[in-house]
């Protein structure tokens, strides 16, 4: 079993020291979904949700969340993020919206947590904007899809 990098010799939580690492380009992609009633999905598509344009607000929320990840996840390093995207794909047959975020940085540590946080907060924002019309929405399947860069190299979810 690998040694946990966020735990010191005494078993206490710690922030990993990245000062000796070379800066390199890091990239990560995460995905997740939010399922809902067909009527809710239609209102989002037609931009008739009373709180406004759901995709525009959720996209901005996801981008902001990626930038604030270190404020939310205690042992994450603050990063000078170069790029964040948040995109939505509607699946009418399954009654869901798939959310994908990609994050890029030139730095000493990866951006997996930033991509996962962007997807999570975008999904939560959709829920918040639509909860008055559909309390049965379900957020699911938030996963890391891909990461590149750093000592561990490339990872692609199978």
Domain extent for 143: 33-148
CATH number of the domain at 57, please: 3.30.70.640
Domain presence at residue 106:
yes
Domain presence at residue 79:
yes
The pLDDT value given to residue 137 = 98
Domain presence at residue 51:
yes
The residues, ordered by sequence, that sit 6+ positions from 20 with a Cβ below 8 Å of its Cβ are none
Is the sign of the CA dihedral 23, 150, 157, 142 positive or negative?
negative
Domain presence at residue 155:
no
Among residues 32, 95, 24, the alpha carbon closest in space to that of 62 is found at 32
Angle among Cα 71, 87, 59 to the nearest 5 degrees reads 45
Q: Which of 87, 98, 128, 141 is catalytic?
A: 128
- Read off the pTM: 0.92
- Split into its structural domains, the chain has a count of 1
Residues (pLDDT < 70) of the chain are 1-4
Examine the residue annotation and report whether 134 is marked as an active-site residue of this protein. no
The pLDDT value given to residue 4 = 61
pLDDT, tens digit, 9 for 90 and up, residues 84-130: 999 999 999 999 999 999 999 999 898 999 999 999 999 999 999 99
Domain presence at residue 16:
no
Domain presence at residue 70:
yes
Domain presence at residue 94:
yes
Please list the residues that pair with 90 across neighbouring strands.
97
- How far CA 99 is from CA of 25, 30, 48, 121, in Å, comes to 23, 8, 20, 10
Domain presence at residue 68:
yes
């Amino acid at each position: 079993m690998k040694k946990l990098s966020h735990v010191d010799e005494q078993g206490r939580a710690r922030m990993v020291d990245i000062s000796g690492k070379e800066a390199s380009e890091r990239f990560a992609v995460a995905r997740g979904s939010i399922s809902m009633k067909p009527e809710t999905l239609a209102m989002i598509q037609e931009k008739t949700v009373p709180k406004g344009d759901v995709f525009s607000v959720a996209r901005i929320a996801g981008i902001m969340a990626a930038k604030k990840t270190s404020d939310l996840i205690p042992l994450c390093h603050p990063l000078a993020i170069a790029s964040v995207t948040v995109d939505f794909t509607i699946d009418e047959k399954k009654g869901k919206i798939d959310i994908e975020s990609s994050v890029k940085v030139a730095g000493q540590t990866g951006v997996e947590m930033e991509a996962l946080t962007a997807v999570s907060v975008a999904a939560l924002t959709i829920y918040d904007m639509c909860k008055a019309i559909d309390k049965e929405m379900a957020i699911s399947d938030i996963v890391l899809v891909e990461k590149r860069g750093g000592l561990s190299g490339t990872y692609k979810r199978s």
